[in-house]
Amino acid sequence: MNNAEEAARLVEQDPASLEEIASVQHREQIQESLLIYSALLADLAKRKETGAIDAIAFEEIEAGLREHGGIIVRQAIELTEKEHALINRWMHLLQKIPLYFLAFLFLASAFTALYLSQRLMKPLNRLVEYTGHIARGDFDRIKPISKFRDEFSSVEVAINRMLRDLEARQASLIESHKLQAVGVLTAGVAHELNNPLNNIMLTAHTMLEEHGDMTLEDELEMIRDIIQETERSRSIVRNLLDYTRESKSVMEPLDLDELLKSTVKLSANQARMAGARINLDIADGLPHIQGDRQQLKQAFLNLILNSLDALQPGGQVDISAKKASEEGFLEITVRDNGCGIPKDIQSQIFDPFFTTKPFGKGTGLGLKVCLGIIIKHGGRIDVASEPGQFTRFTITMPYDTPYTGDRHRLVDSQNTT
Q: Which of 137, 135, 130, 132 is nearest to 159 (CA)?
A: 130
Stretch 69-73: mean pLDDT, rounded?
A: 74
Q: Which of 266, 345, 335, 263 is nearest to 299 (CA)?
A: 263
- How far from chain centre, in Å, is Cα 119? 18
Residues near 230 by beta carbon (within 8 Å), at least 6 away in sequence: 196, 200
Q: Is 228 exposed, middle or buried (0-12, 13-18, 19+ CB in 10 A)?
A: middle
- Interval 325-345: pLDDT, tens: 888 899 999 999 988 888 888
Angle of the 216-244 helix axis to the 293-309 helix axis, nearest 10: 100
- The predicted pLDDT at position 320 comes to 95
Stretch 8-20: mean pLDDT, rounded?
A: 51
CA distance 375 to 135: 11
Q: What is the DSSP string of 223-255?
A: HHHHHHHHHHHHHHHHHHHHHH-------EEE-
Q: Compute how many other C-beta atoms are within 10 angstroms of the C-beta atom of residue 44.
A: 18
Comparing 69-83, 139-153, 156-170, which segment has the lowest mean pLDDT? 139-153
CA distance 50 to 349: 132
- The predicted pLDDT at position 332 comes to 95
pLDDT of 5 over the 60 cut = no
pLDDT of 206 over the 90 cut = no
Please give the single-letter amino acid code of residue 204.
Answer: A
CA distance 239 to 228: 17
Q: How confident is the model at residue 240 (pLDDT cuts 50, 70, 90)?
A: low
CA distance 237 to 186: 9
Q: What is the mean pLDDT of the chain?
A: 75
Q: How confident is the model at residue 395 (pLDDT cuts 50, 70, 90)?
A: very high
3 state SS for 190-224: HHHHHHHHHHHHHHHHHHHHCCCCCCHHHHHHHHH
pLDDT of 358 over the 70 cut = no
Q: Which residue has the higher pLDDT, 3 or 375?
A: 375
Please give the single-letter amino acid code of residue 150.
Answer: D
Number of residues assigned to the chain: 417
Q: Which residue has the higher pLDDT, 149 or 154?
A: 154
Stretch 231-245: mean pLDDT, rounded?
A: 67
Q: Which of 350, 394, 280, 359 is nearest to 136 (CA)?
A: 350
- The predicted pLDDT at position 250 comes to 74
- Interval 118-142: pLDDT, tens: 776 777 777 777 777 666 666 677 7
- The predicted pLDDT at position 400 comes to 62
Q: What is the CA radius of gyration of the chain?
A: 51
Phi, psi dihedrals of residue 63, rounded to the nearest 5°: -65, -40
CB crowding 248-257: b at 16 or more within 10 Å, else e: eeeeeebebb
CA distance 168 to 372: 13
Comparing 1-15, 93-107, 219-233, 328-342, which segment has the lowest mean pLDDT? 1-15
Question: Which runs of consecutive H residues, i.e. helices, occur in 276-391?
Answer: 293-309, 366-376
- Interval 361-382: pLDDT, tens: 555 567 877 888 888 888 889 8
- Counting residues of the chain whose pLDDT is more than 90, the rounded percentage is 12
The pTM of this model reads 0.50
Q: Is 291 exposed, middle or buried (0-12, 13-18, 19+ CB in 10 A)?
A: buried
pLDDT of 256 over the 50 cut = yes
Is beta strand 380-386 parallel, antiparallel or unpaired with respect to 252-254? unpaired
- The predicted pLDDT at position 417 comes to 43
Stretch 287-291: mean pLDDT, rounded?
A: 90
Q: Which residue has the higher pLDDT, 233 or 364?
A: 233
- The predicted pLDDT at position 52 comes to 63
